Amino acid sequence: MEKRDGFGSKLGILAAAAGSAIGLGNIWKFPYITGVNGGGAFLIVYLICIALVGVTIMLCEFTIGRRAQMNPIGAFKKLSKGGPWWIVGLSGVLCAFSILSFYAVVAGWVFAYVSRAITGSLIKVGADQIGGLFGGLISSTGEPIFWAFVVLVLTALIIVGGIQKGIEKYSKILMPILLVLLVILMIRSVTLPGASKGLEFLFKPDFSKLTPTGVLEALGHAFFSLSLGMGTMITYGSYISKKENLPSMALQVSIADTVIALMAGIVIFPAVFAFGLEPGSGPGLIFVTLPPVFQSMPLGGVFETLFFTLIGIAALTSTISILEVVVAFVCENYNMARKKATIMIAAITFFFSVLCSLSLGTMSDFTIFGLGFFDLFDALSSKILLPGGGLLIAIFVGWVMKKEDVLDEVTNGGEIEFGLFNAFMFVTKYLAPILIAIVFAYSLGLLKL
CA dist., res. 99 & res. 350, Å (int): 12
CA terminus-to-terminus distance, the chain: 56
Q: CA 309, 283, 167 angle in degrees (round to 5)?
A: 40
Q: Is residue 232 at the binding interface for ligand TRP, with CB under 6 A as the rule?
A: yes
Q: Is residue 60 at the binding interface for ligand TRP, with CB under 6 A as the rule?
A: no
Rounded to a whole number of angstroms, the minimum distance from the CB of residue 383 to ligand TRP is 12
- Count of helices and strands (H, E) across the chain: 22, 0
Give the CB-nearest residue to ligand TRP: 25
Q: Is residue 224 at the binding interface for ligand TRP, with CB under 6 A as the rule?
A: yes
CA dist., res. 258 & res. 53, Å (int): 13
SS3 content of the chain, % helix, strand, coil (to 5): 75, 0, 20
Residues 6 or more apart whose CB falls under 8 angstroms from that of 352 comprise 97, 98, 100, 101, 373, 377
Residues 274 and 192: beta-carbon distance below 8 Å:
yes
Q: Is residue 373 at the binding interface for ligand TRP, with CB under 6 A as the rule?
A: no
Q: Is residue 31 at the binding interface for ligand TRP, with CB under 6 A as the rule?
A: no
Chain centroid offset of residue 146 CA? 23
CA dist., res. 159 & res. 167, Å (int): 7
- Which of 13, 15, 18, 24 binds ligand TRP (CB under 6 A)? It is 24
Q: Is residue 98 at the binding interface for ligand TRP, with CB under 6 A as the rule?
A: no
Residue with smaller CB distance to ligand TRP, 21 or 288 = 21
Contact flags string 297-336 toward ligand TRP, x per CB under 6 A: ---------------------x--xx--------------
CA neighbor of 284 nearest in space, from 135, 449, 89, 108: 135
Rounded to a whole number of angstroms, the minimum distance from the CB of residue 225 to ligand TRP is 4
Bridge partners, 371 (sequence order): 368
Residue with smaller CB distance to ligand TRP, 150 or 416 = 150
Residue with smaller CB distance to ligand TRP, 230 or 290 = 230
Residue with smaller CB distance to ligand TRP, 62 or 273 = 62
Q: Is residue 50 at the binding interface for ligand TRP, with CB under 6 A as the rule?
A: no
CA dist., res. 73 & res. 414, Å (int): 28
Applying CB under 6 A, which part among 15-23, 138-146, 169-177, 355-363 lies near ligand TRP? 15-23
- Which of 91, 227, 359, 428 binds ligand TRP (CB under 6 A)? It is 227
Site of interaction with ligand TRP (CB under 6 A): 20-21, 23-26, 99, 224-225, 227, 230, 232, 318, 321-322, 386
